[in-house]
Structure 1
Amino acid sequence: MEQLMLGDITVDVVQKDIKNVHLSVYPPTGRVRIAAPLRMNLDTIRIYAISKLSWIKQQQTKFREQPRETPREYLNKEGHYYLGKRYLLTIIERDAPPQIKLRHSTIELYVRPDTEAQKRKDILESWYRERLKELAPSIIEKWEDKMSVSLNEFQVKKMKTKWGTCNCDAKNMLGNYLWSISQIRCSMI
């Protein structure tokens, strides 16, 4: 991987066997990456990046101005989202297998005594994944009818920068369970 400097902006350049140039600005810091065809030389890529400089700066500014959530610690009274609604996490220690119950305005996380934060996180993420797998078929069916399309396969995966992806040729869809289940609105179902 090579890097270009455009003033105070560093651009990571990856050349690979592709047809078109792909420019991306990634949250939360506004890291810039260009994927370019092997046939393009670095000077051409630099000129392309310079032509997109105002867009790059606009995206970086947008990311910097976005409110950021503090990192989750998986402690009592911490806010977590499910179906677009904020719930307070309640940790209940007991000597039994992990379990999660949704109560009025709380997510009750039942764990063994002295369960570490990473394990609590894993349990909650697994629960989110299972909820999306339960909710997705009815949402997909609704939109298949409205759009006159059909889906062969739906998978759930944790992704850092996307809500999901779709392969139109194979009719496959991949959903990001962390974003989807925490933000999806009940009205969509």
Structure 2
Amino acid sequence: MSTVSAYLTVRGIDVDVIYKDIKNLHIGVYPPLGRVRVAAPERLDDEQVRLAVIQRLPWIKRQREQLKAAPRQTEREMVTGESHYVWGLRKRLKVVERPGHTHFEIDGERLVLYTPRDTAAEKRRAYLDKWYRDQLRQAIPELITKWEQALDVIVPKWSIRRMKTKWGSCNRETRHLWFNVELAKKHPDCLEYIVVHEMTHYFERNHGERFTKLMDKHLPDWRSRREQLNGSPLAQEEWPGGA
């Protein structure tokens, strides 16, 4: 079965379109980010798909709101044995209770938390969030420098924040880029994809044909990176013995 991909923006909502040898059009809204995917018959064109999505917008928005409101993960207790992801790799948490300042270290397959015995779980989670942000702050500058040179642009400012429905965003007026803290849990290729994606918005606001051509030119494997990024739930960790 042949397939053709398109990338549309419909009233502010990004839509992935797959044209297939099928009879009917199907619209799905998928966790964790509320990604909208359309499987469309090959006889339809982008404008016909756009109209079909517009007709279903109330339903799509309800589905996205439900995903946005849903709990993202079982809250971490921050105890030895839990699993956490670091740059796409699953790490077992080991807690070492000892006097001194709280900090994290990578030790092979383990993520080690050094912390005083009386540190509450809430504070441990806050330290982990800060550690993830620090990981991104170390990784992002090199990527931005690389792609500033490749795209011949300047990124005047970028920040990290927790986002429920996006991996990144770009303010075209201020040229300020934002990156989701959850990217520190994903493979480094995924972070680079988001960096390039957001910087490409300097040239094109929407996810239309021009945007797709620019991505194809500068990062030819961006689709596989996007699938890798969206292939695992946002902020969802595994407990020992299962998901």
> TM-score, normalising length from structure 2?
0.51
Matched, 1:185 2:188: yes
Within a 5 Å distance, the mapping from 1:160-171 to structure 2 comes to: 160-171=164-175
Which of 80, 83, 90 lines up with 1:79 in the alignment? 83
Select the structure with the greater relative contact order (CA < 8 A; seq sep ≥ 6): 2
One-letter code aligned to 1:162? K
- Are 1:128 and 2:144 matched, yes or no? no
- Equivalences for residues 99-110 of structure 1 within 5 A: 99-110=103-114
1:116 maps to: 120
Aligned letter for 2:89? K
Deviation at 1:22, TM superposition (A): 4.8
Distance 1:129 1:49, change over 3 A: same
| 1:150 counterpart = 2:151 | no
Percent identical residues: 34
Larger Rg: 1
CA–CA distance in structure 1, aligned partners of residues 77 and 160 of structure 2: 24
Relative to its length, the structure with more strand (as a share) is 1
The match for 1:52 is: 56
Can you list the C-alpha shifts for 1:108-140, whole angstroms capped at 9, x where unaligned? Answer: 001110322111100111111111111110011
What residue ranges of structure 2 are gaps of 5+ in the alignment? 1-9, 15-28, 35-51, 193-243
Distance, in Å, in 1 between the alignment partners of 2:172 and 2:159 is: 14
Specify every segment of 5 or more residues in structure 1 that has no aligned partner in the other structure, as ranges.
1-19, 31-47
Work out the number of aligned pairs and report it: 146
Q: Supply the distance in 1 between the matched residues of 2:166 and 2:53 (Cα, whole angstroms).
A: 23
Whole-Å Cα distance in 2 between the matches of residues 146 and 111 of structure 1?
43
Q: 1:152 deviation in Å? A: 0.5
What secondary structure, in the 3-state scheme, does the structure 2 residue paired with 1:96 have?
Answer: coil
CA distance in 2, matches of 1:161, 1:154: 18
How large is the Cα RMSD of the aligned pairs? 3.5
